[in-house]
Chain A
Amino acid sequence: MFSSLWVVIDSHFYGFLKATGVTLQLTAVSLALAVLIGLVFAFFKLSRNPVANLVANAYIGIVRGTPLIVLLMFLYFGISSIVLLSSFWAGSLALAIHAGAYVAEIFRGAIQSIDHGQHEAARSLGMSRRTAMRLIILPQSFRRAIPPLGNQFIIGLKDSSLVAFLGVSEIYSTAMTAAAANFLPFETYLVAGLYYLVLVLIFTVLVHKLEIKLAPDRRAAT
C-alpha cells in the first residue's frame, strides 16, 4: 500500500500542485466576496428598515435551507444562462453567495455582542452613529468575529471541492480524474485528503496569528 501511495503522490505531484493553486484561488475569491456580501447583509439585518430586514432574512433563510450542491448547480446553470461565465467564476460566485449568508450571521452576532456602553460612550463624545460604528463598534466586532470567521473559512476551503462537479480542475476533481486512470482510488483520495488537511492546518495557524495581531492589548498583557 505504501508503495502504491508513493506512486500516487509522485506521479500526480504536478497535477495536485496545480490543483492546489486552483483550490486556493477558488477559496480566496469566494471568501473575499463572501466577506463583502456578509458585511452588507449583516447591516441589512441590523437595519431599522423593515425591507432591508426582509431581504436579509430571505437571503439567509434560502441559503441556509438548501444544500450547497443544489445551490451550486442552480446558480451555475442560472448564472451561465444570463451571462457567459467560466466555470471557475460561476463556482466562485456560488460559493461566495453560500458562505456570505453564514458570514452575515457571524458579523451580525459580533456587532451585537459589543457592549452597548461602547456605543453610548462614543455618542457621549459627540460621535455620530456612523462614526461610532466605524471607529468603535466595527473594529471590536472584527476582532471578535475572527475565530468564527476562521472556522467559516475552513468550511469554505473544503466546500470548494464541490466545484469539481462544474468541471473546475481543483484538488477533488483532479483526484477523481486520477483515480479513474490509475485504478488506485483509495490511495488517490487519501492523497487528496492530505492536501486539504495540510491547507487547513496552514490556514488555522494563519487565523491564529491574525487573532493575536488584532488583539494588541492581549498581546501586551501576555
Chain B
Amino acid sequence: MNRRKKLSTAGGFALVLSLAIAGNASAMHIMEGYLPGGFCVAWGVLCLPFLGAGLRAMRNALKENRRVLPLLAMAGAFIFVISSLKIPSVTGSCSHMTGTGLGALLFGPGAVSVLGVIVLLFQALLLAHGGLTTLGANTFSMAVAGPFAAYGIYRLCQKGGVNRRLSVFLAAAFGDLFTYCVTALQLALAHHTDVSFGGAFLKFLAVFAPTQIPLAVIEGILTVLILAALETYAKPELRAAGFIKED
C-alpha cells in the first residue's frame, strides 16, 4: 500500500468517526419497567453463563498474548461509539446500531457479552436509556443473541468460501438485525394479553425491523471499514487474536 492509500484509509477512518458524532434523538432497548418482574429475572439468569464464559474467554485471550489488549479495547470502544448514535431511518423513527459484530468476529461472542453489558449499564444508569430492570433482557438481545448470530454467520460464510469482506459485512449486518428481532420476541413474550402471541410478535417486529434494516447495512459497512484499517495497520494484533492466520 503506498503512502497516499495509507493516508486515505486513515482519513476515511477519521471521517467515519466525525460523522459518527452527528446523530441525535431518542433510541432503543426495552425501557425501564416495561417487562414484568419474572421476565426480568429470567433473562438476567439466562445471560449469566454467557457472561461467565465471556470473562473466561477474555482472560484466556489476554493470558495467551497481551498483544490483543488494544484490539479488545477498540472492540469495546467501537460498541460505545456505534451504540451512542441514533440514526434516522426510512420509517420516520430513529434507532441505533449495536456495534457488537466487530468484537464477536475478533474475540468470539462470549467476550462481547461482557463488553456489551458495560455499555448497557452506562446507558441505563446515566442516560435513562434501556433500564436496570430490563438489563438482563437487553443484555441477552444485544450482547448475547446478536454477537452469536454474527459469529455464526461469519463462520458459515467462511466455510462456504465467501469472500472475507462480504462475510464480515453479512455477519455484522445480520447480527445487528437479529438483536432487534430478539427484542421484538422478548416484548411479545411478555405482552400479548390482548392479541395472540404471533400477532404481538409481528407488531413489535414491524416497529423494529424495518427501521433497523438500513442501520444494519451501515453497521456492516463500518465494520468492514474498521477491519480493513486494522488489517492494514495492526496485522500482528489480528494474528495474535487468531482473526487472520499466520502466513
Q: Are the chains A and B members of one assembly?
A: no
| Residues of B that sit less than 8 Å from A by CB | none
